[in-house]
Structure 1
Amino acid sequence: MKLLNKLPKSDPNLHVELIKNGWIPMKEPKNLVSAILLFIPLMIIASMISIGVINIFSSISLSDFGFTSGGISININLSVILGIVLLLIIHELLHLMFIPNFIQSEKTSVGFTLFGAFVISEEEISKSRYIFITVAPFIILSIILPLILSVFGLLTTTLKFLVLLNAMGSSVDLLNLLLIMKQVPKHATLTCNGPNTYWKKTQTEQIG
């Protein structure tokens, strides 16, 4: 596993090699504007799912976060800032820990930039495993965790905020999930070249 301080770029030589070996590039958003237009509805959907989960055993409203008829009152203290930093770390660790042999892998990278953290792996990963890696932080932190905390009455306002923040941040993962579900066949393997994703049918699928 490698530690990086910036997002790795796509290697053109590796791209050529992957294409020669039958890998197919996924069609992904080509610019920031188109990506944002896709992120926003997914952000709303993910937030609504988490809100629904929270409301099963607890409650949540705008007033919890300082929004009232008299105006907006938002208090950001050290615990909230530390919570956001910890959330970013845990979110990426949940991606990382489900990558096969991530500790020994020389093709897996993790790092932090001014815009957040990231995990990228050029290991060849089955579609089902790749999907689980992609959605694990959203399912664990924004669905399972608030459900458990609500049952025991431990879901504080700060934790509700972090759960929703993770749900909104998971819009990137959910977009990736939709792209995989739409473009990649059932029996396939995926890999990455920097930020770009490629897929190839398994031998079983090719023979069939």
Structure 2
Amino acid sequence: MKVYTFPKSRSLRVLWSLEELHLDYETVRVDLLSATPEIRSPHPQNKVPVLDDKGFLIFESAAICKYVCAKTAGQCLYPAELRANARVEQWMSFALTELEPPLWSLLKHVALLPDALKVAAVEEVARREAESAIKCLEHQSIASWITGDTFTIADIFVAQNLMWAKTCGIPLPTVFEEYLLRCQTREAYQQAVIRNNG
């Protein structure tokens, strides 16, 4: 399998999943910031991540992560049991629809866009919405991981969003700082970061 990547992007989620599943893969770093890229992504908009599995192309991080989990049926990263799966889907959906949109908007207006394109009002609204989503997340009782005692792909999505929150200067409750530390000390995470950002 081949994954098209870019440092500090959503491609980290895919590599993290692949590392957790102990699957072999190679990475291709895309020239996302070049006006005349030598290496382009096969994504219609030249975005990452994209997975190429022997000519079968798939993009969108959630779809890719579910796909690689399906290739390794029986692994606990994406459980098959109905209620366990529903919990994973619930928190992935929350991460993708409630946490990520305001955090991504905030991240752009805090750190990624040129100053001329940053809009203070957009940053203010995005920060307020992100903080509201994190407050909702605080009501979740965390044992070890977001769905209970087993690490799943829901943790990968929630954790990356919480990392973005910290980058944007949003303070996290102690329980989530501890949760992030558990995520970031996983060997699979550390290997994924090296391969995504190296």
Shorter-chain-normalised TM-score: which range? under 0.3
| Alignment TM-score, normalising by the size of structure 2 | 0.26
More strand by share: 1
Give me the TM-score of the superposition, normalised by structure 1.
Answer: 0.25
